Amino acid sequence: MEHRERMILASGGVFGIFLLVQLGALAFVDPAQQQGLQEIEGGGTPTLSIAFVAAMLVATGLMLLAIRYGGVSQLRLFIIFASVYISFFAFDVLVTSVLSAGRGATAVALGAALALGVVLYVYPEWYVVDAAGVVMGVGAAGLFGINFGVLPAIVLLSVLAAYDAISVYGTEHMLTLASGVMEMRVPVVLVVPLSLSYSFLDAEKPASVQSEGEVESNADSADPDGEPPEDGQDGDTELTAERLAAMEPADIETLDPERAAGVDPNVLDAVDEQTREALSAATPDRDALFIGLGDAVIPTVLVASAAFFVDTGPTLELAGVSTTLPAVTAMGGTLVGLSVLLWLVARGRAHAGLPLLNGGAIGGYLLGALASGLTLAEALGLTGVL
């Protein structure tokens, strides 16, 4: 099978994961309210979002310290414990709503969550990690969705989109965090393989999640005598659009693979299709697509919030779950953003996901809210603020 076909299939797998998280969160909303899991009446205020972001920054800092100073084993155990804890809520709500068995359903949910944690600890193959990630995503997005009103949810998505862009393109610490988490084999990063033979347990850390400082570059390299290579040799200068335009496609295809994969996306946009194909030929096929669990969870918070707090407009049936039009359009906007993100990732570079995903979710939500008859102020949850 051609690499492009495998990329398309893997992209479909990523879409499937997102849909499972979103549909699961929608199914979670009403039973969770009935079980009294809404802790914040009325959906709170934007200060709730700011407090959450501050807590997340502290948690990110602690994770980076653990990765840097040898606390990876302890951090892995903590993440697995958190997986079991959040998964229990997801299982408990969904199993109880299906079985209506009270304590019996809770026991089943606890057993399922513990079993998931044991398998994740003992055998964290990619499908185990993904399964745990989906269950965690449903529980986390659902719990946040019924506690964060529309305005706090939009503030949360906006702030985290900006933070994600800064941490990936600016400080790059999110790439360092992703690199460390990959080695732990925990459901913070979801994995979709491009071949049936792929094993997450045997895979090395992929270059696509390494920071720029971790990827060896031949640019500005010197020979043993301290002299730079002659012009025209591979690795002597940065691969700019002008330099690529002056090269023959056959020469581009023989470039160092890491160097070809590291071409700036802005440069790719400036060259012709033939040059892009030659760079693609020089770049080794990736083994899998990797995407952060947060990329699936954060925009789904707005989907669940719209389903829970917006009661105006038509009610739609989606995969057996009744929900509101703004929730459905927020899902659609997220998937549009995901399409663009996967297109960028297919070009060989790590990208910040939340600007596209959260932007799509917010834009889709607003379209659905306005179509449902809400004013812009009502759609944004500003009527009680203005």
Cβ-proximal residues to 307 (8 Å cutoff; 6+ apart), any chain = 26, 29, 145, 323, 324, 327
In the numeric block, which tokens belong to residue 200?
A: 């997450």
pLDDT exceeds 70 at position 375: yes
User: What average pLDDT does the segment 117-142 reach?
Assistant: 94
Residue 359 confidence (pLDDT): 96
Of 41-50, 87-96, 221-230, 303-312, the range with the lowest mean pLDDT is 221-230
User: What average pLDDT does the segment 91-110 reach?
Assistant: 78
pLDDT band at 357 (very low <50, low <70, confident <90, very high): very high
Segment 316-330, tens digit of pLDDT: 888 888 899 999 999
pLDDT exceeds 80 at position 156: yes
Of 85-94, 98-107, 138-147, the range with the lowest mean pLDDT is 98-107
User: What average pLDDT does the segment 349-373 reach?
Assistant: 91
pLDDT exceeds 60 at position 386: no
Helix (H, G, I), strand (E, B) or coil at 192: strand
Q: Which residue has the higher pLDDT, 265 or 342?
A: 342
Residue 35 confidence (pLDDT): 85
Report how far residue 292's alpha carbon sits from residue 132's, in angstroms, rounded to the nearest whole number: 13
Of 11-20, 35-44, 106-115, 374-383, the range with the lowest mean pLDDT is 35-44
pLDDT exceeds 70 at position 231: no
Residue 4 confidence (pLDDT): 74
**Mean pLDDT score of the chain, rounded to an integer?**
81
pLDDT band at 45 (very low <50, low <70, confident <90, very high): confident
pLDDT exceeds 60 at position 284: no
Q: What number of CA atoms fall less than 13 Å from residue 250's CA on the CB side?
A: 0
Residue 2 confidence (pLDDT): 67
In the numeric block, which tokens belong to residue 266?
A: 């802005």
> Closest by alpha carbon to 352, among 365, 340, 335, 363?
340
Segment 289-317, tens digit of pLDDT: 888 899 999 999 999 999 999 988 888 88
Residue 101 confidence (pLDDT): 57
Cβ-proximal residues to 137 (8 Å cutoff; 6+ apart), any chain = 20, 21, 24, 25, 293, 296, 297, 300
- Which string of DSSP letters, residue by residue, matches 316-338? EEETTEEEEHHHHHHHHHHHHHH
> Closest by alpha carbon to 89, among 154, 39, 125, 157?
39
Residue 212 confidence (pLDDT): 32
Residue 257 confidence (pLDDT): 60
> Closest by alpha carbon to 129, among 176, 39, 198?
198
Q: What number of CA atoms fall less than 13 Å from residue 95's CA on the CB side?
A: 20
Of all residues in the chain, what percent carry a pLDDT higher than 90?
41
Integer Rg of the chain from CA: 23
Q: Bridge-partner residues for 290, per DSSP? A: 191
Residue 350 confidence (pLDDT): 64
Residue that has been written with the tokens 């459901």 in this structure: 187
Q: Which residue has the higher pLDDT, 213 or 159?
A: 159
User: What average pLDDT does the segment 145-155 reach?
Assistant: 94
Tell me the residue length of the chain: 386
Helix (H, G, I), strand (E, B) or coil at 290: strand
pLDDT band at 253 (very low <50, low <70, confident <90, very high): low
Provide the residue ranges of all domains of the chain, joining segments of one domain with +: 3-205+287-329
Residue 323 confidence (pLDDT): 92
Helix (H, G, I), strand (E, B) or coil at 61: helix
Of 27-31, 107-111, 242-246, the range with the lowest mean pLDDT is 242-246
Of 56-70, 183-197, 225-239, the range with the lowest mean pLDDT is 225-239
Cβ-proximal residues to 202 (8 Å cutoff; 6+ apart), any chain = none
User: What average pLDDT does the segment 235-247 reach?
Assistant: 71
Helix (H, G, I), strand (E, B) or coil at 44: coil
Residue 206 confidence (pLDDT): 46
The DSSP element (H or E) to which 291 belongs, if any, is strand 288-292
Residue 220 confidence (pLDDT): 37
